[in-house]
Structure 1
Amino acid sequence: MPKGSATPWSYFLIRLLFKFVLKIFYGTIVVEGTENIPEKGKPCIVCANHSNSLTDALLLVASIPWKRRNMLRLTAKSTQFGKKTFTSWLIESAGTVPLQRRKDFEDGRVDNTEVLLKLMEALDMGDAVCLFPEGMSRYHPSLAPLKTGVARIVSDVLTRHRDDPNFEMSVLTCSITYMHRQHFRSDVLVTFHPPMKFTPKNNPELLAPTDYNNIRALTARIHQQISSGTLDAPSWRLIRIAKLAARMYAPIGTQMSLGDYVRIVRTFLQAFKLAEASLTSSGTDGEDEGRAEDSEILKLGIDLQGYQDQLVRCGIKDDRVRKPLPRQTIVYRIIIRLAWSVFLFSISIPGLLLWVPVFITTFIAVRTFKRTGPVWDTYDEIAQYKLVYGFVSGLCVWLGSMLLTLPIAPITAILVPVAMWMSLRWLEDAISAFRAFTALSRLLLVGDARLEEMRKTRADLHARVLHLAVNTLGLPDAPEKHFAEVGGRQKGRVRGRWANSAKYFSVRRRRKRDWNETLRLYDKVDYPGDEY
């Protein structure tokens, strides 16, 4: 039985380094379904959605346990190769295979015959090959139509082994969901689905010569499975209102894992998406029960959008409307939050001085890059730029610190990373406290009459959201109790009030009450390109 290719040292180093860098850039990375990953030596194609350029590939490399696979053979657009850049070296050193894209050549002529042959040979050896069937990375709320390349490779590999009816290969689909893909200290969910297994004996329809309809059918299955685990919508507006509906259904503080949160958002998103599609396709005639329900869901979405706009204009969160506070309590909390924020900022200043070169370097690099194209074609590479420039500048800070303190360089080599990490942790808490301070301050500025009107609006919306969740979508009727009781020891989830408080101040990572949170002085609820 094949054992797969040996792991090159460069791949091992890259995996180690970027697993470390990814854990710094993203606040929480939750990986689900690792038990679904085929073991070493079993040929496998890993397919994932592609919305974050090189970061997607690095995330998959870091998420697949080395005990399950020796390495993940990556693919990347050919234009990334042969350049005198750190990114190009990184891609080539990891054994990445270059794929030509028609859009990258003026005459539109490409020849990937040799590349595909190398990929099939890798599969013959029992390797895992990573392909992004969308064929491109882009900043968009929906998956692009999948190319048929993966299905054709499955067909070609099975045909090569048609004399071995028990030869088995798998297609492992993966859904990557970024809460805010380009923002520092946001969260990521990586979900591996049960693999699709193929053999010449059980899948004769994929042996050459094959009907192209079978290729398209397999591609559709791959699309459906990837889409089922992430937020896939025709517009950012639907994702925006689905997140608000999820926060209303399971309010801030509900003890749920990141996976549970994403699935709830996706459940509401599917409801809004299907209702909108149903009413758009069926015209304006008809008063059947199904159309009436879709109209109600669509009306709920419009009202949620209006309510979210109100929250943005007031600069407050839904949770502040949900739980009315007396003015004296608000003032007391303002004082506490501001004092706590100032204290944390103060103790983090020494470590933050080390972060200044990193922040400046990444800021300039990203600002320059943004000017090169529109949102949909540039924002998917922002995280990649931040990771690469942040890593290189951070490494320079570390090396520079040791050079400046040569007599005690071994001590500095340990103290500098510790100081940078602790200052980052304190900065997270400080910004969270200051964000709460600003929200509470704005709450005082909202007139009592307007706040009362918003509370009535919210009460009506909450009742409608709960009715949709329980009676139509089949979600639990008591989410705070349900999610506190279900589930085991999951990353990004704690049990009990004491554990929740302790995890909040954990040295490893900050326990978030709101999975939508980023390292910002304001709540991130809108998207680039939105009119808000």
Structure 2
Amino acid sequence: MPQGSSTPWSYLLIRILFQFVLKIFYGTIVVENADLIPKTGQPCIVCANHSNSLTDALLLVTSIPMSRRNMLRLTAKATQFGQRTFTSWLIESAGTVPIKRRKDSADGTADNTEVMEKLMEALEIGDAICLFPEGMSRYHPTIAPLKTGVARIVSDVLTRNRDDPNFSVSILTCSVTYMHRQHFRSDVLVTFNPPMTFTPKDNPELLAPVNYDEIRGLTAQMHQQISSRTIDSPSWDLVRSARIASRIYVPLGTRMSLGDYVRVTRTFVEAFKASDDAQNSKHIAEDDPIESTSEDLELNQLRYDLRDYQDQLVRWGIKDDRIRRPLSRRVILSRIIIRLSWFSFLFVISLPGLALWTPVFAATFYAVHNFKKSGPIWDTWDEIAQYKLIYGLISGLCVWFGSVLLTLPFAWITIFLVPLLMWMTLRWLEDAVSAFRAFTALVRLLRVGTSTLKRMRVRRQNLHGRIMNLAVKTLGLPADPEVYFLESGGKEKGRVRGRWESSAKYFSVRRRRKRDWNETLRLYDKVDYPEEGQ
């Protein structure tokens, strides 16, 4: 039976290093169904959607427990190799295999025969290899059509081992969902789907000579698995509308698991997408007799009304929860004093640590600011998280070593004290920013006025009724979502359950208690997305 390759020391180092860095950059990384990952020795191809460049690969490496796989052999575009950069060294030292792309070749050709041979050899000895079948990474909410390379590798490796009818190879698809992929302290959901296992005995249709329809069919099955557990939308506008619909339908915040939140949002995206497709179909030809149904028209109108409602909240700088649960003027004033006092206290105690974080933030901001100018949004914004991770890591290490050198007589203390102070500063800063964001929202709430808020409350009640009708009668979602989703989902990382846990997690050293999965380390609520034309 295959045993798999031994784990190189550089792979272990990179895994530990970036597990640490990713946990700092992203507030919560939730991994679902890790028990479905085939164990070391079982040939396995790990495939995921690809929207965040190198960060996607690092996330998969750190999300797969060492108890399941001792290593994951990565692939990357060939242009990342042979350069005198930290990223290039990082990729090469982890045993990554270079993949040539036609778009990077002057003559538009790419010969990956030798690469495919190496990947199949790795599978035959029981390794797991990582491939992104979209073939490219880009800043877009939809999953691009998958290339057939993974299915062809499965066919080729089964054919090479056709004399062993019990030889098996698995495809493990993974759905990755970033709340805000490039923003500091946002959240990520990594969901592993049930593996598909193939053998020469059970899958003779994949043995050479193979009908290409079988390859396309397997690729379509992979696409369906990946898209079924993440938010796959043709536009950011649909995602935005679906997220406000989710918050109105089940306003639990982080008392609802991140996995449930993503799946509910995806359900609304699919509904809006279907109605949008139906609405657009009648414009194929001027004399097309197809008419949109009343349901499609109502659904499109609901989406437009949700967008207008969200736009109004953004203009005022308040959240939907303040419309749903109104506060008296006296309560607002008392909370303004509390939030401002709490922000001031946390900011003051954060000042010493902020002196250490300032070079990190400055270096990262400068690098990302210049990188954004290098190309259009769809071709550059998918690499912003990668740049922040790399530059943040390098500048952070420089701050650490510099602090140790400057305090050489006490280096044995500062070597531990500096990272601890930087982490606690980050925790205090998160709470300070959250308190200031709440303070500004409460001030704006006073400026809006009681009569205007009452009209918005009536508007929200109308939207809530229409959303509940859609969710329960059409989409088959629970009729009592606040009870159902409060009880489902289990004890998931980052989730808040009950008032005691809510209060305790507010002071947690490991991570702050978020009220909403949409939160990032910003002085405002991040609800909008940049469109490709901007």
3-state SS of the aligned residue for 1:345?
helix
1:136–1:253 distance in 2 versus 1, CA, 3 Å: closer
Q: Distance in 1 between matches of 2:199 and 2:3?
A: 19
3-state SS of the aligned residue for 2:255?
coil
Q: Output aligned runs, 1:22-41, within 5 Å.
A: 22-41=22-41
Q: Distance in 2 between matches of 1:478 and 1:413?
A: 52
The answer as to 2:47 corresponding to 1:51 is no
Q: Distance in 2 between matches of 1:530 and 1:4?
A: 43
Matched with 2:465 is 463
Deviations along 1:29-62, whole A, 9 cap, x unmatched? 0000101100110000000000000000000000
3-state SS of the aligned residue for 1:72?
coil
Q: Percent identity?
A: 71
**Larger displacement relative to structure 2 (323-332 or 359-368):** 323-332
One-letter amino acid matched to 1:193: N
One-letter amino acid matched to 2:518: N
- 1:252, CA displacement in angstroms? 4.3
- 1:145, CA displacement in angstroms? 0.8
- 1:278, CA displacement in angstroms? 2.4
Q: Is residue 254–residue 479 contact of structure 1 (8 Å, CA) maintained in 2?
A: no
Matched with 2:79 is 79
Matched with 2:182 is 182
Unaligned runs of 5+ in 2: none
Matched with 1:311 is 313
Q: Output aligned runs, 1:509-520, within 5 Å.
A: 509-520=511-522
3-state SS of the aligned residue for 1:46?
strand
Q: Is residue 174–residue 193 contact of structure 1 (8 Å, CA) maintained in 2?
A: yes
- 1:489, CA displacement in angstroms? 2.3
Deviations along 1:174-215, whole A, 9 cap, x unmatched? 000000000000000000000011011111111111111111
3-state SS of the aligned residue for 1:341?
helix
Q: Distance in 1 between matches of 2:483 and 2:361?
A: 41
Aligned residues: 530
**Larger displacement relative to structure 2 (236-245 or 291-300):** 291-300
Q: Distance in 2 between matches of 1:207 and 1:282?
A: 43
Deviations along 1:207-234, whole A, 9 cap, x unmatched? 1111111111111001110001111000
Q: Distance in 2 between matches of 1:346 and 1:410?
A: 27
1:359 aligned to which of 346, 358, 361:
361
One-letter amino acid matched to 1:246: S
- 1:249, CA displacement in angstroms? 0.9
Q: Is residue 376–residue 532 contact of structure 2 (8 Å, CA) maintained in 1?
A: no
Q: Output aligned runs, 1:210-221, within 5 Å.
A: 210-221=210-221
Q: Distance in 1 between matches of 2:197 and 2:7?
A: 25
- 1:488, CA displacement in angstroms? 2.5
Unaligned runs of 5+ in 1: none
**Larger displacement relative to structure 2 (504-513 or 120-129):** 504-513
The answer as to 2:439 corresponding to 1:437 is yes
One-letter amino acid matched to 2:185: R
Q: Distance in 1 between matches of 2:289 and 2:246?
A: 31
Q: Is residue 366–residue 386 contact of structure 1 (8 Å, CA) maintained in 2?
A: yes
- 1:5, CA displacement in angstroms? 0.6
Matched with 2:63 is 63
The answer as to 2:368 corresponding to 1:370 is no
1:494–1:309 distance in 2 versus 1, CA, 3 Å: closer
Q: Distance in 1 between matches of 2:254 and 2:430?
A: 20
Q: Is residue 336–residue 439 contact of structure 2 (8 Å, CA) maintained in 1?
A: yes
Q: Is residue 174–residue 226 contact of structure 1 (8 Å, CA) maintained in 2?
A: yes
Matched with 1:198 is 198
Deviations along 1:462-506, whole A, 9 cap, x unmatched? 111111111111222222222222233221223321012111221
Q: Is residue 279–residue 297 contact of structure 2 (8 Å, CA) maintained in 1?
A: yes
- Tell me which stretches of 4 or more aligned residues in structure 1 moved more than 4 Å: 282-288
Q: Is residue 377–residue 532 contact of structure 2 (8 Å, CA) maintained in 1?
A: no
2:342 aligned to which of 322, 340, 343:
340
Q: Is residue 255–residue 480 contact of structure 1 (8 Å, CA) maintained in 2?
A: no
- 1:109, CA displacement in angstroms? 1.5
Matched with 2:118 is 118
Q: Is residue 254–residue 483 contact of structure 1 (8 Å, CA) maintained in 2?
A: no
The answer as to 2:213 corresponding to 1:207 is no
**Larger displacement relative to structure 2 (446-455 or 10-19):** 446-455
Q: Is residue 254–residue 517 contact of structure 2 (8 Å, CA) maintained in 1?
A: no
Q: Output aligned runs, 1:13-412, within 5 Å.
A: 13-253=13-253, 255-281=255-281, 291-412=293-414
TM (norm. structure 2) is: 0.97
**Larger displacement relative to structure 2 (15-24 or 492-501):** 492-501
